[in-house]
Structure 1
Amino acid sequence: MIKFFRKIRQNLLSEGKTGKYFKYAIGEIILVVIGILIALGINNWNLNRIETKQTKTILNSMILDLESDISNLESDIVFFENDIQKSRIVLNSEKFDRITEDSLYNLLPTNSSSYSLNRHSFEKLKNSGINNILDSDELYESISAYYTDNADILNTVNSWDFDYSLKATDFWRLGNEFEGPILNDTIITRYRDGDIIRKTKLVQLVSSMKSRNIIRYAISRKLTCINVYKGIKFDAENLIKIINQELGLKK
């Protein structure tokens, strides 16, 4: 093709048709520019197609992460509700005749959650350039808020609950009167006091004003955790809807 154009130019020059030569040269330049623009357009189309495919893959993966978050948040909400129910049994009971000392101990609020959001797909999106890869401002803001603001709130309430649950556990397990059980121990280990004495001491311990206030504060914490977890669960469900809408636009 290049030889063909060159031959035409040579013929025009040899025949002295300078004006036609310049017109032809300009036309040839225009054709070259159009060819370059077409090539760039095809290249950009291929890049956009690859980017769209990459975005859809990451967003579909993020939906799975969010569904995992929802499931785990729901499980922990049930966990908190069970803890609250057990704490209320301790606070509302006047006698513990029908319960063993170890069963009574297991009613005390000593557990906490350490769940953190599944950030696998979010990290992929960040590494891909979240500002460039997403077309929707609403989606970008929702993803950023979920994985930054909500993650910070979740870590804060979890740390708060863990710290005070640990203090409560130390109070009940490391006191001078009641000898606490060895958790997950499959081997029988002898206590210094018999069952009746241990039961009496534990009842006295959990009936003290300090224990009751510790348990009441634990209920307050768990209720706060439930509200936070429900809020994050709601945001996860809403984010799934926004992502599905974005994926629908990319079909």
Structure 2
Amino acid sequence: MKNQTSKYFKYAVGEIILVVIGILIALQINNWNEARKLNIKESIYLKGLKADFEQSNLALERVIKKTSRVSKRVDTLVSLIKKNGNELSVIQIDTLISGSSGFTVFMPSEGVINDIIGSGKLDMVTNKVLREKIASWDADLKMIREFENLGKTISNNYSNHISQYFDLANFKFNEPTFLNDKRHQFLNDHIMTNYMARIFGNSMTLNALYREKTTEIDTLIGIINTELK
């Protein structure tokens, strides 16, 4: 009886061990499957982020070109006014003044970023640097937004101020809009040239911020490429 009981006990222990091993294997397989599913989801998000970042870089390229064009135009206009304003033709003034105003707004592609943050799935992004940049995306744009708002205010005030020297209705008749009888007042308007100087300075600052953001996005794209390998 003792030998038989011992055999039954060993058999029962063996069965328990096999069951435990089976459970552990099943849990491990389940963990592998869950990890695989999470990796697939993360890859989908990373590919979407990469596409968004590439579109954002294209948007940055556009605003950089515009701010560069405005700053160059206004700088040229100020130099000509100060050095030989009386030699400027009406057509030249019309041409230069038309591109000396305007403001830029960087419109990034944020679909995937908003989805990740809005759905509370930020932890799905395993790379720490990438996760932190996504979390601080809006905060990192604060400085750009401040200078864009400043640029809009300056540009609008400048446009309103110089409107006294132009008759835009002349466009209809293919005639110059600059009122040549106000040339002296125009050339000696330090308020106008102060606006121009502020437009130039704000444009240069914005372009520096835009280029900094481009470099940052390029770094993030590089991180994503490494994560997707």
Determine if the TM-score, normalized by the shorter chain, exceeds 0.5. yes
- What 5-or-longer segments of structure 2 have no aligned partner? none
Residue number in structure 2 paired with 1:97: 89
TM-score (norm 1): 0.77
Distance 1:17 1:73, change over 3 A: same
In 2, Cα distance between the equivalents of 1:120 and 1:196? 44
Q: Which amino acid aligns with 1:188?
A: K
Distance 1:153 1:215, change over 3 A: same
Tell whether 2:179 aligns with 1:229.
Answer: no
Whether contact under 8 Å (1:179, 1:198) holds in the other structure is yes
Q: Which moved more, 1:199-208 or 1:78-87?
A: 199-208
Runs of 4+ in 1 over 6 A off after TM superposition: none
Once the two structures are superposed, what CA deviation does each residue of 1:109-161 show, in whole Å capped at 9, x if it has no partner? 2x111223211121233326212x2332233234444x234322222221221
**Equivalenced residues, count:** 223
Distance 1:238 1:223, change over 3 A: same
Shift of 1:236: 0.6
Whether contact under 8 Å (2:78, 2:193) holds in the other structure is yes
In 2, Cα distance between the equivalents of 1:121 and 1:101? 46
Give 1:136-155 correspondences, 5 Å limit: 136-145=127-136, 147-155=137-145
Whether contact under 8 Å (1:86, 1:107) holds in the other structure is yes
Identity %: 23
Residue number in structure 2 paired with 1:106: 98
In 1, Cα distance between the equivalents of 2:183 and 2:50? 48
Shift of 1:195: 5.5
Give 1:51-70 correspondences, 5 Å limit: 51-70=38-57
Tell whether 2:19 aligns with 1:23.
Answer: no
Q: Which amino acid aligns with 1:114?
A: V
Among 172, 183, 192, the alignment partner of 1:188 is: 172
Q: Give the aligned CA root-mean-square deviation in angstroms.
A: 2.9
Distance 1:42 1:16, change over 3 A: same
Tell whether 2:35 aligns with 1:48.
Answer: yes
SS at match of 1:99: helix
Higher Cα Rg, which structure: 1
Distance 1:101 1:88, change over 3 A: closer
Whether contact under 8 Å (2:116, 2:122) holds in the other structure is yes
Once the two structures are superposed, what CA deviation does each residue of 1:45-89 show, in whole Å capped at 9, x if it has no partner? 111111111111111121111111112212211111111111022
User: Which is richer in helix?
Assistant: 2
- What 5-or-longer segments of structure 1 have no aligned partner? 1-12
